[in-house]
Structure 1
Amino acid sequence: MAELIDLSKVPVPDIIQPLSFEQRFVALKQLLIDIDPIYEAVVALESDPVTKLLQVFAYREMHLVAQINDATRGNILASSTGNNLIALGSRYDLAPLVIQAGNPTAVPPIPEILEDEQSFKRRVQMAFDGLNTAGSIDGYIFFALGADGRVADAKAVSPEPCEMVVTILSIEGNGTVNNELLIKVRNVFGMSADGLSQSNTPSKVRPQGDRVTIQGASIVNYNVQAVLQLLPGPDAQVVLAAANQALALYQKEQRRLGADITRSGIFKALHQSGVNNVNLISPSADITVLDHQAAYCTSVNISIGGIGE
């Protein structure tokens, strides 16, 4: 499977201009002096109306540049958000998947819930894989991800020629896929509800010669228990909150198929500013997660174990 570009590492385009009022104000003053040197003494006075006008022009120019910067970011996948991102996706005939349909007339009103932006960006990046009619691994992953907004991740392998095994992970609960979601994904690939045969409706995305198995991920449970030794000075609760927040982010990043849970990754998350040492009790070893598996943290217990030197 081809690796997707990490959008968080895409550099800021050169077209994005820095917002500096002072630079623009100085440039406008110099432009006026170049046009007529008589204004050099005038713009030297901060209270002169001409100087005030140049300040207004500089602020206005900075505001326009900010608008141009925002418009540019809105047209770049790495930085696009909201409706701008939806418009970008429409170029590839993609729209955010609906996880929960909204009903404003219900009591209380039911809000619409769409797939998160990172998941949508991933599908936009893979849009061209959907054009592959030869049954590539990336193509299978693309269509599995697009089958339903509850599909958090998907992987595909071909153990034998013309055989494909697609594993999916759910965003709900610990990631276990319920039967309803399995049926929905199987339907996309033109398979019966039980997955044992082809459905009566031919698939538009699965090559006719492929035999496909759709399965839910096997969940590998683990827990985190650690004792933090702090440096003198920092507030213990502030440090503890930062460590828990960083650990939650690490767990979120690793909640995907085939993502190992490593002690070094947990150490890195817990060793925040103000931490002198980390005694990681659990897990006692790295947790290897296979491609058909996903790790799920069942509990977290981080405590403070005193002050070090």
Structure 2
Amino acid sequence: MAGINFNQLTPPKLIEDLSFESILAERKAYFLSLYSDETERAEMAKTIARESEPVTKLLEESAYRELIFRQQRNEDVKALMVMYSSGSDLDNLVIDRNIQRLVVSPADNTVVPPLAAVMETDDDLRYRYILAMDGLSVAGPESSYKFFAHSADGRVGDVSVVSPEATPYLLDIYILQNDSETGAASQELVSIVQAALSDETVRPCCDRPTVHSVNIVNYSVQAVLYVAQTAKNSTLLQQAMDNLNQYVKEQRRIGRSIRLSALYSVLHISGVEHVEIIQPAQDVILDQSQAGHCTNIDIQLRAYE
């Protein structure tokens, strides 16, 4: 169950691709079909081709209302599917697996202005929903440990399970803390997860899991984007920065290496002639006990000759 990748699923047929123009064309066609006389039908076709005609306005208004109704139907369908559901709709869906949204950091009403609670994201809650069935296993699979580690505290951002071949019953559990600057887990969080995984109702009797903070590997990104002289003052730099920040965010997970090929891909946007990456000098290869932390980003635009 934990191997499911929602991003690879095609949208169900229940969710329609809607177009106002298509709906309006269908309504006009049906409207004209009500005229049995060909001459009248031809005259009315000329009439509804004019935007200023009242009957055209009525057809457009009804087509627009149909579009809204069918789009609401799409939204209602999505609210009942874990892949698309969000917010309170998702909260209600995941109850059937006995899980609920976790608190990452509680509300603080003692400061001005008051700070609202930071809650588990939809993506993280959805991921735990996928893992929940594996949590029922009594055999101690990797996904079961991941489920219980994630469920121990809302601050757990990622989990890896390492089982040495020589001593398969001695497990090393590495956790990433999603609200720390680098991703390193505090001793408090390590202790909370350790207690959760040591419960005899969670682990098989022969397993001995030991929880550790993930080992942080720092890296920085320095690159030069060569563009045409006329493009130097455009939005190219912001687009490239947005792409890079998204990549850095996605790679803030245990064992996700930082690849030069990926950096070239996100920085080589339309309008860029070529990209020179200065740092990192080579791929930053990470294992299942490590996570990357980007300490600095320096992207510059230069005109090529």
Instruction: Say whether the fold is shared (TM-score over 0.5).
Output: yes
Deviation, 1:272, is 1.8
SS at match of 2:115: coil
- The corresponding residue for 1:169 is 176
1:259 matches 2:256: yes
Deviation, 1:184, is 0.8
Closer, same or farther in 2 for the Cα pair 1:130/1:307, shift >3 Å? same
In the alignment, the residues of structure 1 paired with residue 281 and residue 191 of structure 2 have an alpha-carbon distance, to the nearest angstrom, of 38
In the alignment, the residues of structure 1 paired with residue 5 and residue 95 of structure 2 have an alpha-carbon distance, to the nearest angstrom, of 21
| Counterpart contact for 1:141–1:156, Cα < 8 Å | yes
Paired residues for 1:28-39 under 5 Å = 28-32=27-31, 34=33, 37=36
1:87 matches 2:92: yes
* Stretch deviating more after TM superposition (136-145 or 46-55): 46-55
Closer, same or farther in 2 for the Cα pair 1:227/1:23, shift >3 Å? closer
Q: Which amino acid aligns with 1:8?
A: N
SS at match of 1:126: helix
Deviation, 1:57, is 3.1
| Counterpart contact for 1:228–1:277, Cα < 8 Å | yes
| Counterpart contact for 1:29–1:43, Cα < 8 Å | no
1:157 matches 2:162: yes
Structure 1: unaligned runs, 5 residues or longer: 191-201
Q: Which amino acid aligns with 1:57?
A: S
Q: After superposition, give the CA deviation of every residue in 1:121-175 in whole Å (9 maximum; x if it has no partner).
A: 2111222111111111110011111111111100112222322211111111101
- The corresponding residue for 2:303 is 307
Closer, same or farther in 2 for the Cα pair 1:32/1:179, shift >3 Å? same
Q: Which amino acid aligns with 1:92?
A: R
- The corresponding residue for 2:121 is 116
Closer, same or farther in 2 for the Cα pair 1:175/1:52, shift >3 Å? closer
Match of 2:195 among 187, 192, 198: 187
* Stretch deviating more after TM superposition (34-43 or 138-147): 34-43
In the alignment, the residues of structure 2 paired with residue 78 and residue 111 of structure 1 have an alpha-carbon distance, to the nearest angstrom, of 27
- The corresponding residue for 1:290 is 287
Closer, same or farther in 2 for the Cα pair 1:30/1:238, shift >3 Å? closer
Paired residues for 1:1-309 under 5 Å = 4-32=3-31, 34=33, 37=36, 40=41, 43-44=44-45, 45-46=47-48, 52-103=57-108, 107-159=112-164, 160-171=167-178, 172-190=180-198, 202-236=199-233, 238-304=235-301, 306-309=302-305
Q: After superposition, give the CA deviation of every residue in 1:269-295 in whole Å (9 maximum; x if it has no partner).
A: 221222212221111111111100111
Closer, same or farther in 2 for the Cα pair 1:234/1:48, shift >3 Å? closer
| Counterpart contact for 1:42–1:50, Cα < 8 Å | no
Deviation, 1:35, is 5.5
Closer, same or farther in 2 for the Cα pair 1:36/1:150, shift >3 Å? same
| Counterpart contact for 2:232–2:303, Cα < 8 Å | no
Deviation, 1:33, is 5.2
* Stretch deviating more after TM superposition (39-48 or 275-284): 39-48
* Stretch deviating more after TM superposition (233-242 or 117-126): 233-242
RMSD value over aligned CA atoms? 2.4
Aligned residues: 296
Deviation, 1:110, is 2.3
Q: After superposition, give the CA deviation of every residue in 1:43-102 in whole Å (9 maximum; x if it has no partner).
A: 533477666544443332222111111112222222222222222222222222101222
Closer, same or farther in 2 for the Cα pair 1:30/1:223, shift >3 Å? closer
In the alignment, the residues of structure 1 paired with residue 191 and residue 114 of structure 2 have an alpha-carbon distance, to the nearest angstrom, of 29
In the alignment, the residues of structure 2 paired with residue 289 and residue 263 of structure 1 have an alpha-carbon distance, to the nearest angstrom, of 13
| Counterpart contact for 1:42–1:51, Cα < 8 Å | no
In the alignment, the residues of structure 2 paired with residue 100 and residue 49 of structure 1 have an alpha-carbon distance, to the nearest angstrom, of 57
**Structure 2 length-normalised TM:** 0.87
- The corresponding residue for 1:197 is none
In the alignment, the residues of structure 1 paired with residue 268 and residue 57 of structure 2 have an alpha-carbon distance, to the nearest angstrom, of 51
| Counterpart contact for 2:2–2:131, Cα < 8 Å | no
Q: Which amino acid aligns with 2:257?
A: D
Structure 2: unaligned runs, 5 residues or longer: none
SS at match of 2:240: helix
